[in-house]
Structure formats: C-alpha cells, structure tokens
Amino acid sequence: MLTKFYLKQGKGRKAEKGHPWIYTDEIEGYDGEYTNGDIIEVYNSRGRFIGKGFINDSSKISIRLMTRNQEDEIDYEFLRKRLKDAFDYRSKVIDTSSCRVVFGEADFLPGLTIDKFNDIYVIQSLALGIDRFKKDIVDILMKDHGARGVYERSDVAVRALEGMEETKGFLTEPFDTMVQIEENGVRYMVDIENGQKTGFFLDQKENRKAIHRLVKDAEVLDCFTHTGSFALNAGIAGAKSVLGLDISQHAIDFAKKNAELNGLEDRVSFEVHNAFDILPVWAREGRKYDVVILDPPAFTKSRDSIAGAKRGYKEINLRGIKLVREGGFLVTCSCSHFMSEELLRETIIEAARDAGRTLRQVEFRTQSADHPILMTSDESYYLKFFVFQVV
C-alpha cells in the first residue's frame, strides 16, 4: 500500500488543475509510512485522488506528480512507456539526431533531463525520487533507444535543495566524451563532460535556423556566442563576415575549432570580450553591423532579482541596438523563466527609445519543440526570442 498524503483545505488547487508540484505548506498530513524518494498517492482535503508521485520532505517542493491515473504502477514498464512517448513526440516535431529527449515535468518525468547527441545520451537528475530510477532509465536507453553510452551531468547546485550531492560521470562503460553532431547543416564538437549544462544548448536549434534568411551577405555580430552556434549558423547561411564574442577563453577556443570543422574560419572569427564593456567602446568608434545577436545567460533565476535582471537586459540591448545599421536587425532573447515575454518586450522598447532608434518586430519565438511548454506548468516556459528590424 502506498502512503496517502492529504492536502489542506483550499490548498493544492494548481495541482488539481494539472501542475505537477505540491509544496510543503500545502500538505495537511499523511496516512502510512514513507522514506524520502518513495512513490506516494495524493488526495485533496475532500479525499479525492489527485495523482501519484514521489515525496521528499527535505525539499520545498515536497511532492512531484508523475501520473493522474490511480491504476498506474510507477515501475520499469511505466518509465519505458514514458520514454517511448517522449521520443515518439520528438520524432514528429524535430530532427532527433541530436535533441532533448526528456524535458522534466513537460514529459511527466519531473526532475529529469535527457539530451541525445547522436547515440550518446546525457542525463541530469534534479530530484531524489527520479534519482532512484536512474539505473532503470539507463537500461531502457541502452535497450530501446540505441544508446552507445550514457553520461551523467548532475553537477548542479540545485541538487542540494533535494538533499543530494552533485555528481557527474559515466553511467555505462566509458567512451570518448567529445562528440560530433550536426544541426541545421552546421557541425559541432560537443564536450559532454565539461561543457555547460549537458554540453550543448539544444533549445535554440530552431531559432538558429530562423536567422538564416536574415544574414546572407550581412556583417554579423554574435554576442555571448559560447561555442559559436549562432555565429556558425550565420556563416553557413552565407554571411559576409561574422564576429563572435564571449567572456570565456575556453568557449572561444572551442568556437574556433567548430569554425575550422565547418571550413568557416575565413569568414567567422571569435574574440574574448565582456560584451557589456566592449560594445559601448565600439559604438563610440562608429562600428556598425547588419545583424546583432544577443543571447546572454539568464540574468535572474528567482522572482526577487527581476528588477536587477531588467536593468541588465535593458543595458545589453541598448548597447546592441546602437551597433545596428539602419534597416538592420536585432536578434535578442532571454532564457529566464522569470523574465516574462511582456516584461522583456517592454525592456527592449525602453532600450531602443534611449538609443534613439525605432524597432519593428519581425518575429517572436520560444524554445525549440523538443523543449515543450506544458500549459499547466509555467516553469516549462522560459526562452523568449525576438527578431526586430532597427529603423
């Protein structure tokens, strides 16, 4: 018998409407015994079944729901079906040679991320309950999904909120952790052992493709280039010249190798700079570009720091706008869940006003389809991507 948890009267309404999280202060009590990480059942204050998931009372998010079907047994076969459903969905909506196979709560596997780089899979586990299923998940990837190897990148600080230590390493027999992939006609070397997150930012795949039509014969500036993904897409699409900037020497060294891999080193170059520092210098010097791309890291990871993040986004967009030729394009985005679409648009408009320029919106996009947005979970929506013409 699974332990039954009961919610306080008037609490858990979001969970009843489909949100997968239940917080500590929403729980009235429980019937039975449990160990953190166990699968449990959840009922509202009137005794109506809400769902099954796993418990961890050391986390502010005490319960993460995995199913609304009381008949489901959360076991190996359940996980096998969840992974099959996740991959089948992606097979319909995106190139699966390299993609995000599992996007946590949006795939009803809370706390779990799985990225695929050809036949190498990278797992990130952020919740105690899903961590318990790690061996089963690896086994399923090997047997059902053609994995040649699986690597773990759970070396993230948020695991401490679940009472877990950071960890990384092979979950199968060791293999070469430098993996070559191809996306939108661009080849990349991906360092799954030491690269950021799981080694590569897959969530901008379709957005990188979207800039192809803007950059032909253009002079392009790509800020926060990381390992050169937007810059290389511009190069492949026929840009006249591309300059990619990043504050990290390691990232720039990697970007240069990727340029060589694609035979683009004659038109795509990279330099180490802090974009906040160098862009105003170049603006004073009168530099201009046909396309300026701004893909900064998240300036806020909590509601409390939104005001500071807004200042950061305004500043970098102000500096970027000043470098765009009249009639050119600004490509700008935010990867912060807490920076709403409306707030980001408002911030960019303020930056344009201060720069004495007018923006004409060309396109708005979100994260790639392999990072689906669950309509009952706001947290799954984080990436906002704008293309503006600067006039």
Residue 323, helix vs strand vs coil: coil
Question: Quick check: 11 and 40 in contact, CB under 8 A?
Answer: no
Residue 366: both structure tokens together: 């979100």
Q: Is 333 a catalytic residue?
A: no
Question: Quick check: 78 and 133 in contact, CB under 8 A?
Answer: no
The residue count of the chain comes to: 391
Contacts 24+ apart (CB under 8 A), 97-101: 97/181, 97/182, 97/183, 98/181, 98/182, 98/183, 98/200, 98/202, 99/202, 99/205, 99/368, 99/370, 100/202, 100/203, 100/368, 100/370, 100/371, 101/145, 101/370
Cα–Cα distance, 184 to 121 (Å, whole number): 20
Residue 356, helix vs strand vs coil: coil
Phi first, then psi: give them for residue 303, nearest 5 degrees: -65, -30
Cα–Cα distance, 317 to 66 (Å, whole number): 40
Catalytic residue among 99, 223, 333, 335: 335
Cα–Cα distance, 15 to 171 (Å, whole number): 33
Cα–Cα distance, 47 to 129 (Å, whole number): 24
Cα–Cα distance, 266 to 282 (Å, whole number): 22
CA angle 318, 323, 327 (to 5 degrees): 105
Residues taking part in catalysis: 335
